Chain A
Amino acid sequence: MDWPVAGIFIHLNGITALQVICLGFVGGTLSGFIGSGGAFFMTPGMMNLGIQGVVAVGSNITHKFGKAMVGSRKHGKMGNVDRKLAAFLLLTAFAGIRLAVMVTSFLFEGGGDSHNPTGAGANLYISLVFVGVLSIVSLSMLRDLRPGSSDVAGPSRAIVDFFGRLHLPPMIHFKVADVSVSLWILLLVGLATGYLAGTIGVGGFIGVPAMIYIFGIPTAVAAGTELYLAMFLGAFGALNYAAEGFVDIRLTLLLYIGSLVGVYLGAYGVKVVSEKYIRMVTAMIILLCVISRGIAIPVYLRQLGIVTFNPGWDTYLNGASQVLLYVSGLGGTFLILIQVFRAYRQRQKLQRTMAVVRVASEV
């Protein structure tokens, strides 16, 4: 068999397949726990295996569709999905994504010249937005977690209270999330998160903190609702990439083997660990991703001629960026799994006693 098939689909041996499964597991665990799609980890991870970038993105987004469907079903059973809220956000998110695609396409076409690779302008723009927005998100979350805050203190409600005082009717009440939000805030946030998601390709990292800090929604509901949203956005993405012939179904199926176990463990983790811990892990992962992206910015600046340094350094900078990305994904998964198994063992111990009770009473 000649590889790559159709010029883009590579040969997958056993080791490569296993690595794809592991990537799926990490992405799934992060999905179930913090509501992030895990794309920030899986896409570059697959590209590292020699898979074409566009195929990695297309296969991942297709996988996201099915995974988000399963994960949101699980979260739904736990009462974490507010479908009404998701519907409101979805409408404007699509518009935001469309706008973002137009802007980045424009920058992509106009960002290169004979000296610099095409797309450096778009790369720089995307990286700056990524670093700027997610720095604010992660530092705000970390500030909430500083020592001295009460055990039961939730995330900062400064923004929630500010908008609450404005009281811009009409106010829409969301039963599951148990909050009331102004329609205008809702539409604006949906548009902004869609635009940001379309610009930097991340959904959960924007949508989940936005729901927590702007709407005042509990973290578990934010994670569950974001997954539900991701299902529709994933379907839209899968439709587009499949239509362009960029979906490698083998990668999608291999990702499922890991991710559909990880997403259950992540959702279980949300149930057994405190809200504070969930926010801590989310903030940490986001911060490491921000630093990872920040390290790559000088490369784009050099490519655009804004700064000058030895092009040989590109390898080291990109490498460091890659390493940090893996550290964030693997580190976050590790922290989640520790808590998951610790809670699991405690419950098993308790359950064994109760199992004896059940047998005795049956006799």
Chain B
Amino acid sequence: MAIVIISSADETTRREIAESLARKLDCPVLSREDVVERATQEGVPVGRLEIAVLKQSVPKERLARHKAQYLAVATTAICEAAKTHPNLVYHGRAGNMVLEGISHVLRVRVVANASRRLAGIERRLKLSSEKALEYMTKLDEDISNWVRFAHGVEMNDPHQYDLMLNLDQISLESASATACAMAQLPDIQPTPASRRIMEDRCLAARARQRLGSDERTARADLSVSVRDGRVTVTYMPAQARWAEAVPDVLAGLEGARELVSTMAVSNLLWIAETFDHDSTAFAEITDLARRWGAAVELARLIPWSPDDEEPPPVDTSDEAAARQYIPKAHDLTGGIEEDVKEAAHRTSDGGLGATSEALIDSGLFGGSRVATGGAEQIAGIIKAQNTYSLVVVGDVFVSKGEASRTRLTRELCATLHDQTRVSVLAAKELRRSFLFDKRQFLRLVASLAGAAAVYALVFTHQRPILEFLGGPAWKAWRPVATVSVLVTVPLVAYLYGTVSGLILSWLRFE
């Protein structure tokens, strides 16, 4: 079973290619228009929401709630349709973001033939070429703004797609044949792990929908995350009176085996390549989260850049998100080894699963995600969520040497702070022990005494020393004078440098 998500700014093109593909795969088609209709029936004012986004005329809080409801409806609709048939084709503007991180979803971006599209607009709306071009440009801009608002991504970012089809040269039929062939690749077939994620995603969407449509919780800002059927609902302190109703509203939710309600002032975002719930960093972050009343969100960063010689790493974890992987060749086993793969998945997710479980147990879990790339991808996540009070960068760039790792981590922190204005710290700074112990104090005293002795010697014996270094005595003792300068100067630099370094460290200039 594969879910093919076709994204395009042009509705006509995506509809045609989706229908062609659906005929080939013999499966149903679901469209954004179907989702919008359903969302409207359920009380989500999608049309007004779109206008409000473009005109920035509605308070952000209300926009965010409507957006969350809309996305919940979209996810639920796709999940329900996917249950009825082995394959499904969905077409919309950025449907690829609705089921992000699920390995049996093929994400296709279709770029319509511009002249054909223009001709269609001229015909449909009876516009001149110039007006049609103007209309098309404005429409594309509005759609990009909507996608940015709804999903926090740029619509044309190629990293979000498995396949990009440009219809300038190839026909629609050829494009749908290509997508059809790709949808049948073993890499795109569901695994137990990907099915689990899909079920969790669907459950979260249904929970979100219920909370948004029940008048007891409709006005609360709640974030919902699900892992293995455990539903975690996180709310801000100001929403506490509504949050009391959460267990009642979600009672009997099909598929949910446990419900945890967590109050959060804000979220801490912990970014790392590998997580360890037994580490000091975990203890410090959870301590901080409890103190601040924050939830902890995990973001596994798999560093990769288009300049890298190696292809991006294949993340076999069950939380894999970005899909620009070049799949490794593997034997077709007919699915016999799937159960073994699931166990392997759990050990190769960089500790994300186990750490998430530990956070759920602590009541601090705020969600998890995986991003491949660098600072830009993480900054996009931070900006989209807009609720983080602190970002902690843990163990990243683990494949690099110590010096490079230190520098790259520091640069990542600085770039994230610059782009998002959120406080960003390296995990080392959380777990650093207090800087001034007895040993440091003794070192300071000894260095200060040594430096003071040299300074006192030089400034109380200026004349003889200067004559030795440049006067009559110097001529007779030139080599000794030269060597004494070369020995004294670095010695003083070391002693005084130690003093100033320790004092500045004590003052936390580190």
Interface residues of A (CB under 8 A from B): 1, 5-6, 8-9, 62-63, 65-67, 69-70, 73-74, 76, 78-81, 151-152, 175-176, 178, 218, 220-221, 235, 238-239, 242-243, 245-250, 252-253, 256-257, 260-261, 264-265, 268, 271-276, 340, 344, 346-348, 350-351, 353-354, 356-358, 360-361
Complex CA–CA separation, A340 to B410 (angstroms):
15
In the complex, chain A residues whose CB is within 8 Å of the CB of B414: 271-275
Interface size of B by CB at 8 A reads: 60
Complex CA–CA separation, A178 to B496 (angstroms):
33
Q: Is the CB of B458 within 8 A of A249?
A: yes
A-B contact pairs, 23 of them (CB 8 A): A5-B470, A6-B466, A6-B474, A8-B470, A62-B489, A63-B489, A69-B490, A74-B501, A79-B406, A80-B407, A221-B407, A235-B486, A242-B481, A249-B466, A250-B459, A253-B458, A260-B500, A264-B500, A272-B414, A275-B414, A347-B425, A354-B430, A357-B284
In the complex, chain B residues whose CB is within 8 Å of the CB of A235: 486
Contacting residue for B403 out of A79, A249, A261, A357, CB 8 A: A79
Q: Is the CB of B291 within 8 A of A253?
A: no
B494 within 8 A of A: yes
Complex CA–CA separation, A264 to B478 (angstroms):
34
Complex CA–CA separation, A354 to B268 (angstroms):
13
Complex CA–CA separation, A238 to B492 (angstroms):
15
In the complex, chain A residues whose CB is within 8 Å of the CB of B16: none
Q: Is the CB of B287 within 8 A of A253?
A: no
In the complex, chain B residues whose CB is within 8 Å of the CB of A5: 462-463, 466-467, 470-471
Q: A79-B402, A353-B291 are in contact. Are A220 and B500 (CB under 8 A)?
A: no
Contacting residue for A253 out of B292, B402, B455, B490, CB 8 A: B455
Q: A70-B497, A238-B486, A265-B509 are in contact. Are A249 and B407 (CB under 8 A)?
A: no
Min CB distance A248 to B, Å, is 7
In the complex, chain B residues whose CB is within 8 Å of the CB of A220: 407, 410-411
Complex CA–CA separation, A346 to B419 (angstroms):
16
A-B complex: 8 closest residue pairs judged by Cβ atoms: A66-B493, A79-B403, A79-B406, A6-B471, A70-B497, A245-B470, A79-B407, A242-B485
Contacting residue for A66 out of B415, B459, B490, CB 8 A: B490
Q: A5-B466, A151-B419, A152-B415 are in contact. Are A249 and B474 (CB under 8 A)?
A: no
B465 within 8 A of A: yes
Complex CA–CA separation, A176 to B406 (angstroms):
10
Q: Is the CB of B390 within 8 A of A253?
A: no
Q: Is the CB of B404 within 8 A of A253?
A: no
**Which of B376, B423, B466, B472 has the most chain A CB atoms inside 10 A of its CB?**
B466
Complex CA–CA separation, A250 to B461 (angstroms):
10
Q: Is the CB of A78 within 8 A of B288?
A: no
Q: Is the CB of A247 within 8 A of B469?
A: yes
B343 within 8 A of A: no
Interface residues of B (CB under 8 A from A): 283-284, 287-288, 291-292, 375-376, 390, 400-407, 410-411, 414-415, 418-419, 423, 425, 430, 454-455, 458-459, 462-463, 465-467, 469-472, 474-475, 478, 481-482, 485-486, 488-490, 492-494, 496-497, 500-501, 504, 508-510
Complex CA–CA separation, A19 to B496 (angstroms):
19
In the complex, chain A residues whose CB is within 8 Å of the CB of B291: 353, 356-357, 360
Min CB distance A10 to B, Å, is 10
In the complex, chain B residues whose CB is within 8 Å of the CB of A151: 415, 418-419
Complex CA–CA separation, A78 to B404 (angstroms):
9
Q: Is the CB of A344 within 8 A of B508?
A: yes
Q: Is the CB of B494 within 8 A of A70?
A: yes
Min CB distance A83 to B, Å, is 10
Given contacts A70-B494, A178-B400, A264-B504, 10 further A-B contacts (CB under 8 A): A6-B474, A65-B490, A69-B494, A79-B403, A79-B406, A151-B419, A220-B411, A247-B469, A250-B462, A252-B489
